[in-house]
Homo-oligomer: A and B are copies of this chain.
Amino acid sequence: MPSLCILGCGNLGTHLVQALYHAGYPILQLYSRTVESATALSNLVGNAPFTTDLSQLTLSADLYICALKDSVLHEVLTKTPLKGKRIVHTAGSMPMSLLSEFTTDGGVFYPMQSFSKAKPVDFSVIPIFVEATNEEMKRILMEMAGRVSSSVNTLTSEERKQLHLAAVFASNFSNHMYAIAQEQLAKLGLPFEVLLPLIDETCSKIHTLPPVEAQTGPAVRYDLNVINEQKERIDNPLQKMIYELVSQSIHEKALQNEESHQ
Contact = CB atoms under 8 A, between A and B. Distances in A.
B184 A169 contact: yes
A34 to B, nearest CB: 22
B188 A230 contact: no
Interface string A205-223: 1110011101111110000
A224 interface: no
Given A194-B127, A198-B114, A242-B249, A165 B234 contact: yes
A245 B248 contact: no
A238 B162 CA distance: 18
Given A114-B216, A177-B173, A196 B207 contact: yes
Contacts of A211: 175-176, 178-179, 181-182, 192
Q: What copy number does this chain have within its complex?
A: 2
B113 A201 contact: yes
Instruction: Say which size band chain A's interface belongs to.
Output: 35 or more
A161 B229 contact: yes
A150 to B, nearest CB: 11
Interface string A161-200: 1111111111111111111111011011010111111111
Interface of A: 93, 112-114, 116, 121, 125-127, 151, 153, 155, 159, 161-182, 184-185, 187-188, 190, 192-203, 205-207, 210-212, 214-219, 226, 229-230, 233-234, 238-239, 241-243, 245-246, 248-250, 252-253
